[in-house]
Structure 1
Amino acid sequence: MIVCSPLAAQDGYVRSENIPGSFPLFAAGTVAPLYVSHDDHAGVVLAAEALVQDLYQVTGSHPVLTMDAAPAARHVVVAGTIGKSPWINDLVERGTLDVTGIAAQWESFVVQTVEKPFPGVDQALVIAGSDKRGTIFGIYELCKQLGVSPWYWWADVPIAKRSALYITPGRYAQGPPAVQYRGIFLNDEEPALGRWAVAKYGGFTHAFYERLFELILRMKGNYLWPAMWWASFNSDDPLNPTLADRYGIVMGTTHHEPMMRAHAEWRKGGQGPWNYETNGPTLRHFWTEGVKRMGTRESIVSMGMRGDGDMAMSESTNIALLEKIVHDQRQILHTVTGKDPSRTPQLWALYKEVQDYYDKGMRVPDDVTLLLCDDNWGNLRKLPPVGDSLRTGGYGIYYHFDYVGGPRNYKWLNTNQLERTWEQMHLAYRHGATKLWIVNVGDLKPMELPTEFFLDYAWDPTAWNATTLADYTRQWAARQFGPTHARAIATLLDTYTKYNARRKPELLSPGTYSLTNYREAERIEADYVALTQQAETLAQQLPATHQDAYYQLVLHPIRASAILNALHITTARNHRYAAQGRAATNALADRVIALFAEDSACSYYYNRVLAGGKWNHMMDQTHISYTYWQQPEHDVLPVLKRITPLQTAALGIAIEGDTAWWPQEKRQAVLPVFDSFQQPVYAVDIFNRGSVPFTYTVEAGAKYIRLSETQGTIDTEKRLWVSVDWQQAPKGLHRVPVTIRGPGDATVVIQALVQKQSLSKGEIAEGFVESGGYTAMEAAHFTRAVAGDGIHWQVIHNLGRTDAGVITLPVTAPASAPGKPGAPHLEYTFHTRQHGAITVSVYLSPTLDFHNTGGLRYAVSVDDEPPRLVNLHADFSQAAWEQAVGDNILIRTSSHNLTPGRHVLKFWRVDAGVVLQKIVVGNNVPASYLGPPESYRFPNTSNE
């Protein structure tokens, strides 16, 4: 049996070349006819009709779809469900079709070329499903292999024409899926998706949902929580639930909408308070009507109860009352369906405070799926114990790509790294939470990439591991845009999501990135500028047919993110310039206003021009100038500063690493240390505080100090670059004055501290070298990785804020004893000039204590000292959690006594689930958002 991974279109079974035994799906201008029995499921017929349309788009020829006559052509396509299609049953009974491994399985299918299957038929391409969705998925897998993206309508992905289509002979099977129910949740749909749906369809009607049902099925999903802020899926349009069942979509309601009732229905017609103690009979009647309306359609019933409108229950709520609510709800299920409640799929979502009830002892029957949740920021809160198979209802996961709530909404753009999603959902998979996965995708657009990855990974988690995630993005890009530019586009996608995950756009402010240290803000802005230029250059190389899709999926999120980051950083510079009285202050205010207009223009193009205005309102989401967790009603221009420059020439000097300016500041101006290993270049801003230009000169007190220029004229400002000629510089620490003279007798002397290491590069075999009072080491750049106890280290490239993340596998391994011989640990060799008590700061992904054991742990030791145990969650108050998710990092520290020289820092694995991103050794390290850039490292490529 040949098993195809969910994203194997490039290496799949559809070819343009005719090799011996191939099935001619499209040859000599003719498409093979398609046969589907009218006895089969309605959803199979709908999928077959979609295949007909796809074949027409690909070939320009319409295949014939027949449902009421036996196959009767030399080459035919036959699709059907085992037990429903007479033709499939006949092939199985005669042993002509091999259904080994898929028969009686959940949502499985086989695609097989069969010789002489029926009288008068030379060859058939047979798509056989184990059940309704098995067949549907088999049909849509063929569509995907034809080159039709699931996003052909939802992102205007063009469909490439083919001159011939041949199916390579063989047997191709998929299924059963690893996760039984795989779905999405449309949420937080105002102001974007909701307005768009109203404008295009008059609301969330069946015309809207038909498009969505097809998209979900094309991605091998099967489950949906519909939009619900103001809409009611079942009552707004009675065709909604009917068509969901016909297509094959399992319906549910959200974690706070029990018994198949939308909360909007209660707001519109509910009688009395949403309180079971005081209004139980009314609520029971309300819920009973929901179950009656559900009928026999495939559904998963949400159980339990939260407060009105997705709020927490009152503090007086007790576990006995909640258990009674579930008991009464199950009685309703029994009464209405006439079946034991265990025969109706149910879930209980341990969302927010509901998990606290569970942890305090609340229980529901074992046939109810426990839907475990993340913290709304992509960090799983709880996982089942390893090997727990006692619950017949199993465990599921509710995950977020979008959220409304504290510490800040994030809804505007995709900020979800596939690497982090993989790492967290890999934990869920390995811990056996595989009954149901559902992800909050917000407005759906622009979450196209992470949505498809989530569903693909739910289908087959073994298809994608930590080393192949870049391949996923590349293959996804190839499916949208073709193979020629797929690698470049994948790099753009992976990079912009990494940048946006550093801090979500809604959380950005002028103070996010440091203007003072490491030129951090400038580097961030330059990163986005370079990425935008790459995206725009690539856009020019794509044909016109690809431009709309490229703008939606690639160019817009990159360009819009670049504009927003530049807006906040320029605002920060405007404020600093005003404080320093720089003549360029007002020009920066103008620049911010221009960026604000550019942001608006980006949204306007997306809404009104893109694809002929098809997506109007999809970029209505506000994202500038939040003041608390909730979104502003309108984007608001940041507060800007304007000044009146002096009516003369006035010298001002600002240096890298300091917030002050000279000559106002009375203390000495000192640049950060120039180190012979790091070999930095530092910036000095020479600026005018007045409106009259002036000339200046710069002179260094030693010939080995290099200056980008030594004289010039200043209208508003100019940047001077200072560096060192290390061939000429003497060994040791030296202080060299750099003198800047301006108008009149204005003079500023800057001290350059030059440290030429006494050790040469050749004298240090490996490791990092301290510079500027710290040693910064990226997690993936370890000197040595020591495996042990059946545990090994795994680098996840691109994960995290700066470089990569490092985890241990398997994630289900028990805790390790740090310091024990052979215990798993990473080693980082470094060289320091410091002595005494030194702080080691460890940067970690903001993982939660998902086993509720008192906190995840790691340990650190230097050289042969005993490991110091550190608990990630020793302080995990509300404020600490908000900082961790807002910054997308946890920083934990330990203190160690060092002497100058070579040392080996050991990072010991204790608990699974810890994701290491970076280590910084040093006291009083200059502050910045991302932490200091990596220190100089001697080559050691054993881990790359």
Structure 2
Amino acid sequence: MIPCNLNFYRLIVMLFLVTNAFGQSIKTSDYKSPSQYVLHQKEEKAFTIASTGKSASIFVDSKDWKGIIRAAKDLGNDIGKVTGTTSMVFENARPQSNSIVIGTIGKSASIDKLIAAKKIDVSEIKGQWESFLIQTVDGQLIVAGSDKRGTIYGIYDISEKIGVSPWYFWADVPIQKSEQLYVKQGRYIQSSPKVKYRGIFINDEEPSFGQWAREAYGGINSKMYVNIFELLLRLKANYLWPAMWGKSFNEDDPLNPVTADEYGIVMGTSHHEPMMRSQKEYTDRKTEIGEWNYATNKKNIDQFFYKGIERNKNFDNMITIGMRGEGDVAMGEGNDVENIKTLQNVIKGQREIIQKIYKDSPENHPEVWAIFTEVQRYYDAELTVPDDVILLFCDNNWGNIRRTYPEKEKNRKGGGGLYYHIDMNGGPWNDRWINTTTIPKLQQQFNLAYQSGIDKLWIVNVGDLKPKELPIDFIMRFAWNPDGITADQVWNYTVDWAGRIFGKEHAEEIADIVSKYTKYNLWRKPEAQTANIFSIVNYQESDRVLKLWKEVADKAEKLQSKIPAEAQDAYYQLVLYPAKASATVAEIYLAADKNMLYAKQGRVSANDFYKRAQDLFEQDKKWSDYYNDSIAKGKWKYMMSDVHIGYKMWSMPKANALPEMKEIKPLPEPKIGVAIEGTELSWPDTAEKAILPLFDALAKSSYYIDVFNRGTGSFEFTAKADKPWIRLSQFGGIVQKETRIQVAIDWNTLLDGTFNGKIEISQGKKRVEVQVTAEKGAVPKVEEPYFGSLTGEFSIPSNKYNANIAGKNAKWIVLPDLGRSDASMGITPVTAPSANPDTAPRLEYKIFLPKAEKVKVCLGILPTQDINPERGLRIAASLNDQAPKFIDARKGLVDTFGEYTPSNLAHSKVLKPLPALNDDITFIGNGKQRRNEVFDNLRWLDVELEVEEPGMHTLKIFMIDPEIVLEKIVVNPDNKHPSYFGAVPIQHNVK
């Protein structure tokens, strides 16, 4: 029996390695960190910032922008934090040798003299937006900016490179100490950003952000906001929508707008707060102003708008125009036609106010119109705004953009923008507590937006700002140059991020942790967790998910002891807490699921999972309490206060609550129970026969039988098979609570065909018979890798193709770590024209199908929205040389490429909206509603293909529209054994 058991356990190890596939990361290519011109050892002709206890002085012109003088003082202090010697800052003094000279072209006499003397050449930056030059000249270090923010960015660029992270305040990132700082001889140019306006929206600020600000600063006021302004500038961002629910940026603290302007931040207001007025400003005056209805109360609302622009006219603003209903809802009670007419009047009136106040054309003052929720419907119905206004397109609130930049807008003067959520308080569901946004997804979505032409403005809803530090950092850096971080460089960016904060030694380990916890959260975000997401009885899915969560949490915890003391606070905030707390919440739901199933089966171990969930619930509180009370000496008091367990609807519950569970009362005496893989039933008290899933020789299937106790005490059992080819991992034993028997097949003893047997489990006279059916057929005699099954469902990761054939205008590429598994397949360029199969790029997969019949193929794609309603969202599939079948993600299966034409899809002229894609429910399974494409971050498309003869076949997947991203393929979905991920992928003939 020993050789048999050895073979059996080799099989188990192999299967577990396969099951881990959906949790791994592909790490490829090189991401180049921004140019590093700062040295820590002297080079010939290098400029000395600090050495031997001395530091260079900093010179600025008092006539330059106030924000530049302030930032120069920050640089002086930053040099002191790094070296121990602060650099003195002088205004209106003649720069000395070995000094740092900072100024804006046209605002600084020192810089202008250098230009006139031809000491520096600013032709590449002069007149440009937010560009700067750093250059060593005659023993001086020159920082020259094309404009106010260009100069400020140059200052902070030096700060970051000497060792002061933009996150030194918001994540307590330690200062990198160095006694010597130098700048290489030479010239460094930072060209203008590719996205003009780049910023964040502080939203959903209660209870966490609001309570923290009141505790630390006495309110959400200018003393607090300066920290946000500085962070944005250090990240080379320039735009802010301030906290707004019950808050008024301009009135709560009159210094707020003054300070923002001094720092150099462009201020705006959210998508439903027009003309620089907050919602609170209206609700505070509601009795005076009257109804928030432009159709019936135009005069008073116009006056309200007028005063908002008048008050803020001298500041650097981005004016939100348009109007939504009170409380961030659709405006008006009429139909769409009436609402559109009202909105046209609103915008006309607002533009007249802007003209009157500035005594200038509105086109000279940046304005943005948010095409949010129902407003997109109005836009599709041809509601337009003036050509100079930025069109702000939006995502679906959960990170999937709703539109690429329309072709008809390509020559628009105002350009296009994107409002994007990495935090959501509202429909379809809250996503507030923890970071659930992966960097690969951000790269894919923002690249799609950018390549289509959305490059004038990016504004990101970041909720409480913490704990969204990593995605904020990525988006702001990506916005400067989206071409600088391709999909295959995302891993290297993450390693670089970790290295900048924690040092290179553990950067890859930290990058792995933050990549995985966000990826696993994206399977089901904590607030959207519910019962029975992951199958307990099929493919050991629940156990595999738990294993992955435990691995990433344990890795984070073990690494903590290797992190230097000064970085411990940052490590807890950025790595340990999100990994451990996310894993804790995930396990609570997994434990509750097992408790409910095991209670139904009568297992005494149900109570163990009841207790486990309760213990985890207490641990979750301890993790948050430590965050609030202990890290950084209590600096972040209240910041981690969001309720995040036990959501019943989209909005935050009053308190964390455990999911439904049951305690059971064990029987007074030990009593056998038997449960088997593939069903939630249990025996001996079930009339149905106990039948294990089919054993497949191709897949080398192995299944389990659980023998469990329903009562107190223990019992002895025996297990025996009636056929020698049925292999059991044990033949009996004593059961206190439960034990698991693994069942495998000795395939070498079987010929081709179908074989039946049974296993008998006994406790005294109590017997349970488990039926076994094994299927063995001729194994395909091919050398190349393939997927297949003799008995039913099998899965194919999209990146495990046999051939990747480029099309006329595009090709499929691997998008590493995007989606649930190790990669997805997307198209480059994402702006490629739609194709027909003759010219389309295609992927080919070798698959084995044992029968001549119709086969269902399910394509798992990312939940791309209806981003180009003029043509559809299509992909095609075929077997061998059969005619491809087309599937439209919006409408289902179609038969011909030519069916979709603009005339047939001209719903932009129809006011009735299409069914929202994010409301679609799709499943592969037995009808249990486990799958929602938004919550699952995956949409399933079904197509039926004809298998003309058994054997090897080539499954072909064709790009039709370029935005579809293919993650997974499931063939022959098994409705009797539903699961979240589908069958574990097994590729045969892999060398």
TM-score, with normalisation over the residues of structure 2?
0.91
2:156 aligned residue: 140
1:747 to 745, 767, 792: 767
CA–CA distance in 2 between the matches of 1:375 and 1:55? 44
1:900 aligned residue: 950
Does structure 1 residue 717 correspond to structure 2 residue 766? no
CA–CA distance in 2 between the matches of 1:31 and 1:678? 68
2:680 aligned residue: 659
1:795 to 814, 819, 833: 814
Using the TM superposition, give the Cα deviation of residue 923 of structure 1 relative to its aligned residue in structure 2, in angstroms: 4.4
CA–CA distance in 2 between the matches of 1:362 and 1:387? 13
The answer to whether the 8 Å contact 2:674/2:706 transfers is: yes
1:110 aligned residue: 133
The residue type paired with residue 348 of structure 2 is: H
Does structure 1 residue 630 correspond to structure 2 residue 651? yes
The answer to whether the 8 Å contact 1:232/1:262 transfers is: yes
Give matches, 1:62-141, under 5 Å.
62-73=86-97, 75-114=98-137, 116=138, 123-141=139-157
CA–CA distance in 2 between the matches of 1:149 and 1:346? 33
2:220 to 200, 204, 207: 204
Using the TM superposition, give the Cα deviation of residue 772 of structure 1 relative to its aligned residue in structure 2, in angstroms: 4.4
CA–CA distance in 1 between the matches of 2:598 and 2:207? 36
2:984 to 928, 933, 941: 933
Give matches, 1:554-569, under 5 Å.
554-569=575-590
Using the TM superposition, give the Cα deviation of residue 281 of structure 1 relative to its aligned residue in structure 2, in angstroms: 1.2
CA–CA distance in 2 between the matches of 1:7 and 1:201? 39
Structure 1 gaps, min length 5: 1-5, 117-122
Using the TM superposition, give the Cα deviation of residue 704 of structure 1 relative to its aligned residue in structure 2, in angstroms: 4.4
1:305 aligned residue: 323
Deviations 1:571-622 (A, max 9, x none): 1111111111112222221221111111111111111112221111111111
The answer to whether the 8 Å contact 1:775/1:830 transfers is: no
Secondary structure of the structure 2 residue equivalent to 1:256: coil
CA–CA distance in 2 between the matches of 1:231 and 1:7? 40
The answer to whether the 8 Å contact 2:814/2:826 transfers is: yes
1:3 aligned residue: none
1:247 aligned residue: 263
The residue type paired with residue 255 of structure 1 is: H
Which structure has more relative contact order (CA 8 Å, sep 6+)? It is 2
1:120 aligned residue: none
The answer to whether the 8 Å contact 2:784/2:989 transfers is: yes
Deviations 1:283-317 (A, max 9, x none): 11111110111022100110010000111012414
Bigger mean CA offset, 879-888 vs 77-86: 879-888
CA–CA distance in 1 between the matches of 2:362 and 2:427? 37
The residue type paired with residue 20 of structure 1 is: E
1:119 aligned residue: none
2:395 aligned residue: 374
Deviations 1:5-27 (A, max 9, x none): x9965761112122222212222
1:685 aligned residue: 706
Deviations 1:144-184 (A, max 9, x none): 11121111110111112113212122211112100110010
Using the TM superposition, give the Cα deviation of residue 930 of structure 1 relative to its aligned residue in structure 2, in angstroms: 2.0
CA–CA distance in 1 between the matches of 2:171 and 2:665? 49
Deviations 1:268-291 (A, max 9, x none): 123211111221111111111101
1:918 aligned residue: 968
2:866 to 849, 857, 863: 849
2:11 aligned residue: none
Using the TM superposition, give the Cα deviation of residue 390 of structure 1 relative to its aligned residue in structure 2, in angstroms: 2.5
Secondary structure of the structure 2 residue equivalent to 1:148: coil
Using the TM superposition, give the Cα deviation of residue 854 of structure 1 relative to its aligned residue in structure 2, in angstroms: 5.1
CA–CA distance in 2 between the matches of 1:599 and 1:273? 45
CA–CA distance in 2 between the matches of 1:722 and 1:125? 73
Deviations 1:415-434 (A, max 9, x none): 11111111111111111111
Using the TM superposition, give the Cα deviation of residue 262 of structure 1 relative to its aligned residue in structure 2, in angstroms: 0.4
2:832 to 810, 813, 832: 813
Does structure 1 residue 408 correspond to structure 2 residue 429? yes
Bigger mean CA offset, 208-217 vs 626-635: 626-635
The answer to whether the 8 Å contact 1:672/1:772 transfers is: no
The answer to whether the 8 Å contact 1:582/1:689 transfers is: yes
Using the TM superposition, give the Cα deviation of residue 780 of structure 1 relative to its aligned residue in structure 2, in angstroms: 0.7
The residue type paired with residue 59 of structure 1 is: T
Residues 891 and 9 from structure 1, CA distance in 2 versus in 1: closer, same or farther, beyond 3 angstroms? closer
Residues 881 and 268 from structure 1, CA distance in 2 versus in 1: closer, same or farther, beyond 3 angstroms? farther
Secondary structure of the structure 2 residue equivalent to 1:808: strand
Sequence identity of aligned pairs in percent?
Answer: 41
2:247 aligned residue: 231
Using the TM superposition, give the Cα deviation of residue 633 of structure 1 relative to its aligned residue in structure 2, in angstroms: 1.0
Residues 729 and 197 from structure 1, CA distance in 2 versus in 1: closer, same or farther, beyond 3 angstroms? farther
Secondary structure of the structure 2 residue equivalent to 1:348: strand
Residues 854 and 625 from structure 1, CA distance in 2 versus in 1: closer, same or farther, beyond 3 angstroms? farther
CA–CA distance in 1 between the matches of 2:313 and 2:35? 43
Does structure 1 residue 873 correspond to structure 2 residue 890? yes
Secondary structure of the structure 2 residue equivalent to 1:402: coil
The residue type paired with residue 758 of structure 1 is: A
Does structure 1 residue 423 correspond to structure 2 residue 440? no
Bigger mean CA offset, 694-703 vs 420-429: 694-703
The residue type paired with residue 314 of structure 1 is: G
Does structure 1 residue 20 correspond to structure 2 residue 44? yes
2:933 aligned residue: 884
Using the TM superposition, give the Cα deviation of residue 645 of structure 1 relative to its aligned residue in structure 2, in angstroms: 1.5
Using the TM superposition, give the Cα deviation of residue 757 of structure 1 relative to its aligned residue in structure 2, in angstroms: 4.2
Does structure 1 residue 464 correspond to structure 2 residue 485? yes
Secondary structure of the structure 2 residue equivalent to 1:499: helix
Using the TM superposition, give the Cα deviation of residue 60 of structure 1 relative to its aligned residue in structure 2, in angstroms: 0.9
Does structure 1 residue 520 correspond to structure 2 residue 537? no
CA–CA distance in 2 between the matches of 1:539 and 1:576? 36
CA–CA distance in 2 between the matches of 1:625 and 1:771? 42
Deviations 1:622-642 (A, max 9, x none): 111111111111111222212
Deviations 1:129-153 (A, max 9, x none): 1000001001111111112111111
The answer to whether the 8 Å contact 1:793/1:806 transfers is: yes
Using the TM superposition, give the Cα deviation of residue 364 of structure 1 relative to its aligned residue in structure 2, in angstroms: 1.1
CA–CA distance in 2 between the matches of 1:9 and 1:142? 14
The residue type paired with residue 266 of structure 2 is: V
2:692 aligned residue: 671
Structure 2 gaps, min length 5: 1-29, 893-913, 922-931
Does structure 1 residue 737 correspond to structure 2 residue 758? yes
The answer to whether the 8 Å contact 1:466/1:794 transfers is: no
CA–CA distance in 2 between the matches of 1:302 and 1:17? 50
2:359 aligned residue: 338
1:781 aligned residue: 800
Bigger mean CA offset, 162-171 vs 321-330: 162-171
Using the TM superposition, give the Cα deviation of residue 668 of structure 1 relative to its aligned residue in structure 2, in angstroms: 2.6
2:608 to 562, 568, 587: 587
CA–CA distance in 2 between the matches of 1:470 and 1:9? 12
The residue type paired with residue 817 of structure 1 is: N
The residue type paired with residue 896 of structure 1 is: L
The residue type paired with residue 769 of structure 2 is: V
Does structure 1 residue 260 correspond to structure 2 residue 283? no
1:275 to 270, 293, 303: 293
Bigger mean CA offset, 525-534 vs 691-700: 691-700
CA–CA distance in 1 between the matches of 2:865 and 2:853? 33
1:52 aligned residue: 76
The residue type paired with residue 911 of structure 1 is: D
2:302 aligned residue: 284
The answer to whether the 8 Å contact 1:388/1:432 transfers is: no
TM-score, with normalisation over the residues of structure 1?
0.95
Using the TM superposition, give the Cα deviation of residue 335 of structure 1 relative to its aligned residue in structure 2, in angstroms: 1.2
The answer to whether the 8 Å contact 1:386/1:812 transfers is: no
CA–CA distance in 1 between the matches of 2:80 and 2:851? 72
The residue type paired with residue 796 of structure 1 is: L
Secondary structure of the structure 1 residue equivalent to 2:683: coil
